[in-house]
Amino acid sequence: MNSCGRLARVFDRSSGLDLLFCRVKPRTTCCQCPQTTPPLARGQSTAANHTPGSDTDDKPRLRAIDLARKIRGEKSKTRETAPPMSAQQRRVMELKRFSVQLQNVHPNVLAKHLHRSVLYQDKDVVIVNKPYGVPVADDSDVTSITSVLPVLSKMMDGMKMKSDSQLIPCLGLEKDSTGTLLLARRDEVVEHVLALNRNNKVERKYWVITVGVPVPSEGLIDIPIIEREVTGPQPHYKMALSPLYRLNNEGDGVTKVRSHRQAHPAVTKYRVLDSSSGCSLVELQPFTGVKHQLRVHMAFALGCPILGDHKYSHWSKLAPQKLPERVLGKLGIEQSKVRHLPLHLHARQLTLPGSSQADVNVSCPLPKYFTQTLGRLHITLPDEKQT
């Protein structure tokens, strides 16, 4: 047989035949070799390639389960070879987990969490422990508590198919605050609670951790609050103080100024429970319900902003809270990672006057990140002081 120089003759012992192979590269055509079969498409193979005992180098394909095991093995090797995280890196990961734990979750997941967090319930009201970072009202970014209340109501009613029960928020909480959240079962209960609140018959107490120690250790802050625009490279709006008195020109007294029409009366009672490491655990009792009242009074009236309050720790800019080196060391975090600190504002206690029965008095346990911060700062809880 004539050869073009591109053919190789191989003797196959199994069949006793001489076989001719073209030595050109794959996907090329030998000009003098007859094409007896069309080229194979991807994924196709001839029966000879899979004949048992053949001398081909083709490897069997991995099954899906084998591929999954291989990927898991490679990931575990990567984790083993990865350098260990430092204490500060672990601390940041921990804070991130606290701040985004229940954000962007399925509504049913949030409803189940709230169901497990019920602190009190009767025929009129339900009090739940609000988690951090979840807004009460509808929010386009994350799942809100209001949006899952129909599911929560059904859970509390035994998942009955025909249930007319409902839950309505009465006294709201900020997105980044935690603690007692009051829900009413009927519209008339909402109106009754709001009327009680307007007459200062609903008692709410908050616990906050502040950067700094308020002086004096207890008192009453009675300074109106107004919303103002902050100009500069990052224009934004903040709530600010609108005092009725200011220092006179001589600096030896105060003079009364005309109150601003858009300012809201704001009154907050405060009491330092304990202090250490340049920080304090403070109990706050608001007598009015102005937006961001507690944060503004602590930051601008007492000069002791709440830990994790990145909005009201500065007036003229939007930036993470600036913490003293001593506090950073106690918290185990660098200043560049302070933005991950959650707001330490907790609705600790809620008291409602009872009509036909005793008063409703509910205390809410502190969130885990709050108690960990207290431990790092060596601040003692009031109950632990008495023991």
pLDDT digits (tens, 9 = 90+) for 169-183: 998 899 999 999 999
Does the pLDDT value for residue 275 go beyond 80? yes
- The answer to whether position 302 is within a domain reads yes
For the chain, how many structural domains are there in total?
Answer: 1
Measured CA to CA, the distance from residue 245 to residue 266 in angstroms comes to 15
- The answer to whether position 64 is within a domain reads no
- The answer to whether position 37 is within a domain reads no
Angle, CA 217 vertex, CA 212 and CA 221 arms, to 5°: 90
pLDDT of residue 48: 45
pLDDT digits (tens, 9 = 90+) for 187-200: 999 999 999 999 99
Q: Are 240 and 225 in contact, with CB atoms under 8 Å apart?
A: yes
- The answer to whether position 20 is within a domain reads no
- The answer to whether position 12 is within a domain reads no
Q: Are 146 and 136 in contact, with CB atoms under 8 Å apart?
A: yes
DSSP states of 284-334: EEESS--TTHHHHIIIIISS-PBTT-TTTS-SSS--PPP--HHHHHHHT--
* DSSP state letter for 335: G
352-370 burial: b if 16+ Cβ within 10 Å, else e = beeeeeeebebebebbebb
CATH assignment of the domain containing 108: 3.30.2350.10
Whole-model pTM over 0.85: no
- The answer to whether position 59 is within a domain reads no
Q: What is the domain range of residue 361?
A: 92-386
Measured CA to CA, the distance from residue 199 to residue 341 in angstroms comes to 36
Average pLDDT for residues 77-100, to the nearest whole number? 75
Does the pLDDT value for residue 375 go beyond 90? yes
Beta-strand ranges (E) seen in the chain are 7-12, 17-22, 118-121, 125-130, 168-169, 178-184, 203-211, 218-222, 225-230, 236-241, 245-247, 254-256, 267-276, 279-286, 345-352, 360-363
- The answer to whether position 24 is within a domain reads no
- The answer to whether position 75 is within a domain reads no
CA distances from residue 251 to 67, 254, 255 in whole angstroms, order as listed: 79, 8, 10
